[in-house]
Structure 1
Amino acid sequence: MAFRDVCILLMLLLALTYGEHVKFLDCGSSVGKVALVDIHPCPKQPCQLQKGHSYAVNVTFTSGVASQTSKAVVHGVIAGVPIPFPIPVEDGCKCGISCPIQKQTSYNYVNQLPVKTEYPKIKLVVEWELRDDSGKDLFCIKFPVQIVS
């Protein structure tokens, strides 16, 4: 097993073991269905994200389509305006998902949500999409967070 595979497996196990189920809104999962969203650490909601820290995000979903690839797109929505929120790995196939994605199969997508020190202290909504080959959402979720010092 390659080092990268071991790291992904450990991240997945950590997220599954210590993650907190987060209330989320489905914002248009057109070709998939979300079962659970876990964020670690997030002991209460809205999740308080401390500047300079990174948070494990685990989304358990079932794909309704086959897809060779997947790409994550994340935004912070402030006053209704989506602002790109960079994540370390956009390729969902490197985030706990074995590609190609199979129809009617359940997956655990695991990624990191880094909170930069220069971000302002603010309440916002995170919108996280994972798109298939044709740009349709395998999942689209929204969940509230608060950035704190």
Structure 2
Amino acid sequence: MDFHAVVCAFFLPLLLELSHAEQVKFVDCGSVAGNVIQVDINPCPTQPCQLHKGQSYAVNVTFTSATDSQTSKAVVHGVIAGVPVPFPIPNDDGCKSGIECPIQKQITYSYVNELPVKAEYPSIKLVVEWELGDDSGKDLFCIKFPVQIVS
């Protein structure tokens, strides 16, 4: 197998997978230490994203940092009737979610994490609020996007 065939065999499935990611409409809710460029969720063919119980969704937030930071930590809430309810994610460490730390000012990063939807969650429309904080507690990004949990 020649080099080009190896490259195609490895990267083509990855590119096809990324092509299924959908850009999501979001609201910035207080990104004081960064600037969000784009939010993608895979799969999310319609908006608001329909999240099926028992499945996981890849969330990719592209942002530019406005500060230097040694660490980053994510916090996710489902906002139901104005009340934020903790939404656990598998890994809250942004430095283990696609970001190479230390984070540097004026560099663009691609934060990637999983959003698992447990089977016991109610079928409901809600807003997901996703924050990634720097080592001083300021939000590198804070985004809100609507979703609907379905069976």
Which of structures 1 and 2 has the bigger CA Rg?
A: 2
1:104-123 → structure 2 map (5 Å cutoff): 104-123=106-125
After superposition, the Cα gap between the structure-2 partners of 1:31 and 1:16, relative to the gap in structure 1 and judged at 3 Å, is farther
Q: C-alpha distance in 2, partners of 1:34/1:72?
A: 15
Q: If the length of structure 1 is used for normalisation, what is the TM-score?
A: 0.90
Q: Which runs of 4+ in 1 moved over 6 A?
A: 12-15
Q: If the length of structure 2 is used for normalisation, what is the TM-score?
A: 0.89
Selected match of 1:87 from 69, 86, 89: 89
Aligned to 1:138: 140
Query: Deviations along 1:79-133, whole A, 9 cap, x unmatched?
Result: 0000000000000000000000000000000000000000000000000000000
Query: Deviations along 1:9-59, whole A, 9 cap, x unmatched?
Result: xxx967743210000000000010000000000000000000000000000
Identity rate, percent: 78
Selected match of 1:50 from 52, 63, 71: 52
After superposition, the Cα gap between the structure-2 partners of 1:14 and 1:84, relative to the gap in structure 1 and judged at 3 Å, is farther
> Unpaired runs of 5+ in structure 2?
1-13
> Unpaired runs of 5+ in structure 1?
1-11
| Structure 1 vs Structure 2 CA RMSD | 1.3
Aligned residues: 138
